C-alpha cells in the first residue's frame, strides 16, 4: 500500500532507490560516475536537498546550477534533454512505486521545475563559453 512522504527517512528511501536506477542506466551512469566517486555523502547531500525542498529548513548547502554546469563541461557538453528526461522518469517511477499524496506530488513537481532550471542553465553556460 502506498502512502505519502512524511519524513527524512522517506526522502532518503526515495533518493537511494532513485540513484540505484540511475547507476544501472547506461545513459545516466557514465555522467554521474564521472563526477561522484563516494556515493554515501552524495546520498546524504541529496536527501538534505529534497528534505529541505519538501519540509523547509536549511540543511542543504550547495549550488546545484553551478555543479551541473561544471559536470556538463567535464563531459564535453554531454548532457542533453534526453538525459534530463530519463532522470525525471526515474524520479517519478521511484516515487510512484512506494508513495502517493500531496508531498509525493510536490516532489515530482519540484523535480520537473529543477529539470527545467538546470537544463536552461547548462545551455546558457554553453553559450557563454562559446562566446568568450
Assess if residue 3 is contained within a domain: no
Going by C-alpha positions, the residue among 14, 116, 103 that lies closest to residue 64 is 116
The answer to whether residue 1 is domain-embedded is no
pLDDT score of 114:
94
In a domain? residue 107: yes
Give the pLDDT score at 58.
86
Q: What pLDDT, in 10s, does the model give residues 43-82?
A: 999 999 999 999 998 888 889 999 999 999 999 999 999 9
pTM for this entry: 0.92
The answer on pLDDT for 35 being more than 70 is: yes
Contacts 24+ apart (CB under 8 A), 64-69: 64/114, 64/118, 65/117, 65/118, 65/121, 68/118, 68/121, 68/122, 69/121, 69/122, 69/125
81 within a domain of the structure (yes/no): yes
At residue 3, the 3 state secondary structure works out as strand
pLDDT tens-digit map of 25-34: 999 999 999 9
Max CA-CA distance within the chain? Answer: 54
Within-domain flag for 104: yes
Q: How far apart are CA 4 and CA 101, in angstroms?
A: 5
What range defines the domain where residue 52 resides?
8-131
- Split into its structural domains, the chain has a count of 1
Cite the DSSP H helix spans in 1-132: 8-24, 29-35, 39-55, 64-74, 81-98, 102-131
The CATH number of the domain holding residue 63 is 1.10.490.10
Q: Is residue 45 part of a domain?
A: yes
Q: How far is CA 132 from the centre of its chain?
A: 29
Backbone CA torsion sign across 1, 42, 49, 26: negative
pLDDT per residue over 73-130, tens digit each?
A: 999 999 999 999 999 999 999 999 999 999 999 999 999 999 999 999 999 999 876 6
d(CA 92, CA 18): 9
Amino acid at each position: 500500500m502506498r502512502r505519502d512522504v512524511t519524513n527524512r527517512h522517506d526522502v532518503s528511501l526515495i533518493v537511494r532507490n532513485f540513484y540505484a536506477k540511475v547507476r544501472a542506466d547506461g545513459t545516466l551512469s557514465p555522467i554521474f560516475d564521472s563526477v561522484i566517486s563516494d556515493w554515501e555523502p552524495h546520498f546524504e547531500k541529496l536527501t538534505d536537498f529534497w528534505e529541505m525542498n519538501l519540509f523547509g529548513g536549511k540543511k542543504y548547502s550547495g549550488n546545484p546550477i553551478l555543479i551541473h554546469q561544471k559536470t556538463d563541461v567535464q563531459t564535453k557538453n554531454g548532457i542533453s534533454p534526453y538525459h534530463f528526461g530519463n532522470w525525471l522518469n526515474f524520479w517519478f517511477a521511484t516515487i510512484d512505486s512506494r508513495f502517493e499524496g500531496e508531498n509525493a506530488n510536490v516532489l515530482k513537481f519540484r523535480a520537473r521545475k529543477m529539470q527545467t532550471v538546470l537544463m536552461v542553465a547548462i545551455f546558457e553556460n554553453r553559450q557563454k563559453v562559446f562566446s568568450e
